Chain A
Amino acid sequence: MDKTINQKAWFLVLPVFLVVAFSAVLPLMTVVNYSMQDTFGNNQFFWNGVGWFKELLDPSTDLGGRFLASLGRNLFFSAMILAIEVPLGIVVALSMPRQGWSVAACLVIMALPLLIPWNVVGTIWQIFGRPDIGLLGYVLNNIGIDYNYVSNDFDAWATVIVMDVWHWTSLVALLCYAGLKSIPDAYYQAAQIDGASRWAVFTAIQLPKMNRVLLIAVLLRFMDSFMIYTEPFVVTGGGPGNSTTFVSIELVKIALGQFDLGKAAALSLVYNLIIIIVCWVFYTVMTNAGADRPISKGVA
C-alpha cells in the first residue's frame, strides 16, 4: 500500500487542543485538586482527603442534605418538563402546515423563543408573573386565583415549568417536524389504501419514524434542564426558601456565596459524573439506534 503520510492535520487540530486544555482540562484538574482540600483563600490549602465526598453523600450533613434535596428537585423538574414538552412538541409538529407560505411563517414563529437568551427569558417571565405590574400575575389575581411566585412554592414551580415549556417546546416541535418531513408520501398512500385511522397512521408510521429525532430531543432537553441555572435564578432566585433551588444554583451558592471551594468542587464532580453517564448512555443508544442489530435493552 502506497499511502502519502501527511501530518499537517495535527497543526490544524492544535488550536482546538489548546482551547480545550485551558477551558476544560486544566480547570477540571483544578476542581479535582480542590475537592480533596479546604481553603480559606490566599492560595493556602489543607488536605482533607475524601472528607467532602463523605459529607456530600451523607444526607444527615448540611452539605449532603442540600445536595440530595436539590438533586431530587432537579430530577423532578426534568421529568416534569419532559413529560410536558415531548407530547406537546409532537402535537405541535403534527398540526404544523406541510406546504405553502404558512410553513415559513410557522417556522419563524416557532424559532423565536429559542433565539431569546436565557436571562432575558427569565426577566420576561419575572415581570410577566408579577401580581402588581405583570400581565399574567395581574390577570390571575383579578380572576380570583391567588398567584404569587415570590411567596408560594407551587406558584414558583408552576412559573419555572411553564417558562421552560414556553422556551423549549419549539425545539422539540421543530425536531419532530423535521422527522415528519422525512417520511415519504408512499407510506401515507399505503396507509390510506389500507384504510388506516388517523391514530393508526400516528402509531405505525409517524411515531416510529420520529424515533431518532425524539431521542435527540429528549437528550437535549434532559441535559439542558438538568443543568438549568439562569432562568430559575432570575425568576425565583431559588426560592421561596429553597423550593426551586436546583443543583447548579446550590453549587454557585456554595462555591461563590460561601466560598467553600472544597465542598463545591466535590459537588460539581459528582454532578459532572451524573451528566457524563447520562450523556454516554444517550449517545450510545443514539449511535446504535440505526444499526441492524437490535439495540440492547440493558444499556441503560
Chain B
Amino acid sequence: MENIAWMAWTLPTAIFFALLAMTLALMTWLAIARPEAERVGVLRIPTTRGDRLFISLITAAVIHLLWIGFIGTDTIATLPIGEEGIELSSLWLATVISLVAAVAIFRTV
C-alpha cells in the first residue's frame, strides 16, 4: 500500500470506481451474451447500449455539477445509524435524478 499512497485512495472513490468497473464488465458480458443492433432514437443518431451508457454517465456528471453549482449540498436528512447518525446531502437527489435520466436515455435515445 505504501507504494500507491500517492494515489490517495479513499473508500467512497474506490466504491465509485468499483461500480463503474462492474458496469463496464456487465455491459461487456451483455454485448457477448446478447448482441444487439444499433438503433435510432430521439437524438436521431444510431446508438448502441455502450453509446447510451456513455451518454448516461456524461449526463449524470453534468447533473451533479449543475446541482452543486445551483442548488448546493445542504443536509436534507440524518439516517439513524451509529451514535451521530449519517447526514444525507441533497446531492443524493441529483444521483436519483441521474438514475432516472439514465433509464430514460436507455429507453428513448
From B7-15, B28-36, B76-84, B97-105, give the one contacting chain A.
B7-15
Bound complex: CA of A32 vs CA of B40, how far in Å? Answer: 33
Contacts A50-B68, A53-B65; A37 near B8 (Cβ below 8 A): yes
Bound complex: CA of A30 vs CA of B14, how far in Å? Answer: 11
Query: Chain A 36-76 against B: per-residue CB contact (8 Å), 1 yes, 0 no?
Result: 11010001010101100110011000000000000000000
Closest chain A CB from B30 CB (angstroms): 20
Beta-carbon contact of B8 and A293 below 8 Å:
no
Known: A284-B45, A293-B44, A299-B43. 17 other contacts (CB 8 A): A29-B13, A29-B17, A30-B8, A32-B16, A33-B7, A36-B10, A39-B8, A43-B5, A43-B6, A43-B8, A49-B73, A49-B89, A53-B65, A273-B58, A293-B40, A298-B43, A298-B44
Residues of B that sit less than 8 Å from A by CB:
5-10, 12-13, 16-17, 40, 42-46, 54, 58, 61-62, 65, 68-69, 72-73, 89, 91
Beta-carbon contact of A36 and B13 below 8 Å:
yes
How many A-B pairs have beta carbons closer than 8 Å: the answer is 70
Beta-carbon contact of A34 and B45 below 8 Å:
no
Bound complex: CA of A167 vs CA of B8, how far in Å? Answer: 40
**A20 interface residue (CB < 8 Å to B):** no
Bound complex: CA of A37 vs CA of B44, how far in Å? Answer: 41
Contacting residues, chain A, for B54 (C-beta < 8 A): 280
Residues of A that sit less than 8 Å from B by CB:
26, 29-30, 32-34, 36-37, 39, 43, 45, 47, 49-50, 53-54, 57-58, 270, 273, 276-277, 280, 284, 288, 293-296, 298-299
Contacts A298-B43, A299-B43; A33 near B13 (Cβ below 8 A): yes
